[in-house]
Amino acid sequence: MRVGDAKVGQIGVSTAEKIYAEIGATRTGEKVLTYCKAMWKRMQPHHPELFRPDTPNPWEGVTLKRRVKKKKGHVDREMVYAFANGAIEHGRGELAAAAVLAFEWLMRPSSIGAGYAPWTGYRASDQPDKIRLKHRKNDELALHPLEYTEVDEETGEEVLVKLYEDAEKILAQTPRYGTSIVCKKSGVLFGDGTFLAHEVREMADKIRKIDKRVPEGFSLDKCRHGGMTELEESGLTEGQGRSLSKHKTASAYRGYAKETERRVLEATKKRFGRSEQRKNMNEIKGRKIVKKA
């Protein structure tokens, strides 16, 4: 067993530190240190003769250097739908759907490209008022309501409230190339790599030439982060937000919401007892439709 040109038995703390120093305080360096620690611990009991008896795990002795993490950007609702409508006009409805899935239902780009949003989950016969999706990273199933009924206080009639009317307009214009909502024209999935994300960025560059609402650096990641930020700006509790995003831990959820000017203002208003409900919530909640008997 070897680590590069060196045998495992030759690796001590000083050697491990030198290897880490070559990589530096980067995300790759963090991964190397994490994987080496884990694999040393896992393999030593199976092959004790190959490891140094005087060094239980040299990677435990390496000091992890703190790196400055870049803040990921986000896009808002107007930007997402400017892109989505532009993509449809360019004949790429599947890319429009990808942006909407990331923003509205907080799907990771890898899950979208790998087919975790099938057409069979959209208003299925057993769940006609919901969209059923799956999050590949944590294997969580998500059931998002698309509408609900309530009694109108003025007329006394039962009305149907559409929650994702704009999103459903995009899905209605998305071609059904295969079983997945987002796939290539051949019906083949984009896969869980970066191909889908690259296609979205290229399309965004084209749309920006005629619609300046689509910003530079538009991406699926930013769509998802924008959706997460909207949850926070809407005043949802952490528990309510996690019920939509399907994050298993609070720390994972907190890392996505961006400190926007609106969030800071809302926090300040709450501090002084002047907080109010957002006046444009109907734009997100959808419009009411009288339900026919």
2-11, 121-130, 271-280: which range is least confident on average? 271-280
Evaluate if residue 278 carries a pLDDT over 70: no
68-82 exposure pattern, b = at least 16 Cβ within 10 A, e = fewer: eeeeeebbbbebbbb
**Residue 277 structure tokens:** 């409900």
In this structure, of 11-15, 126-130, 135-139, 201-205, the range with the lowest mean pLDDT score is: 135-139
Residues 6+ positions from 244 with CB-CB distance below 8 Å: 106, 142, 144, 231, 236
pLDDT of 26: 84
Query: Of 172 and 36, which is predicted with more confidence?
Result: 172
Give Cβ neighbours of residue 140 (< 8 Å, ≥ 6 apart). Answer: 134, 246, 248
Q: What pTM was estimated for this model as a whole?
A: 0.71
Distance CA 211, CA 216 (A): 11
Give φ, ψ of 161 to 5 degrees: -105, 115
pLDDT value for 236 = 73
* For range 70-81, the mean pLDDT: 89
Q: If you average pLDDT over every residue of the chain, what do you get?
A: 84
Q: What's the rounded Cα separation, in Å, for the pair 292 and 221?
A: 40
Give pLDDT, residue 288: 58
Question: Residue 283 pLDDT > 50, yes or no?
Answer: no
Distance CA 116, CA 197 (A): 16
For residue 229, what pLDDT is reported? Answer: 86
pLDDT, residue 249, reads 67
Rounded-to-integer distance, Cα 120 and Cα 185, Å: 18
How many CA atoms, within 13 angstroms, populate the side-chain half-sphere of residue 266?
15
Task: Indicate the burial class of 8 (C-beta count within 10 angstroms; 0-12, 13-18, 19 or more).
Answer: middle
Is residue 282 over pLDDT 50?
Answer: no
Domain boundaries, the chain: 2-61, 77-288
Give kind and range of the element (H or E) at residue 223. Answer: helix 220-233
Alpha carbon distance, N-terminus to C-terminus of the chain: 73
Mean pLDDT of 5-19: 82
**What SS3 class is residue 10?**
helix
Helix (H, G, I), strand (E, B) or coil at 53: coil
Q: What mean pLDDT is predicted for residues 162-187?
A: 96
The closest alpha carbon to 174, from 97, 268, 61, belongs to 97
What is the pLDDT at residue 86? Answer: 98
Q: What is the pLDDT of residues 102-143, one digit of tens each?
A: 999 999 999 999 999 999 999 999 999 999 998 887 778 888
In this predicted structure, the answer to whether residue 254 has a pLDDT above a threshold of 70 is no
Structure confidence at residue 16 (pLDDT) = 87
Span 32-58, mean pLDDT? 86
Q: What is the largest CA-CA distance in the chain?
A: 82
Across the beta sheet with 147-151, the strand order is: 147-151, 158-162, 288-290
Fold of 77-288: hpI Integrase; Chain A (1.10.443)
Contact 145, 130 (CB under 8 A): yes
The residue that leads in pLDDT, 85 or 137, is: 85
Look at residue 115 in the predicted model and tell me its pLDDT.
Answer: 95
Residue positions counted in the chain: 293
3-state helix, strand, coil in the chain (%, to 5): 45, 15, 40
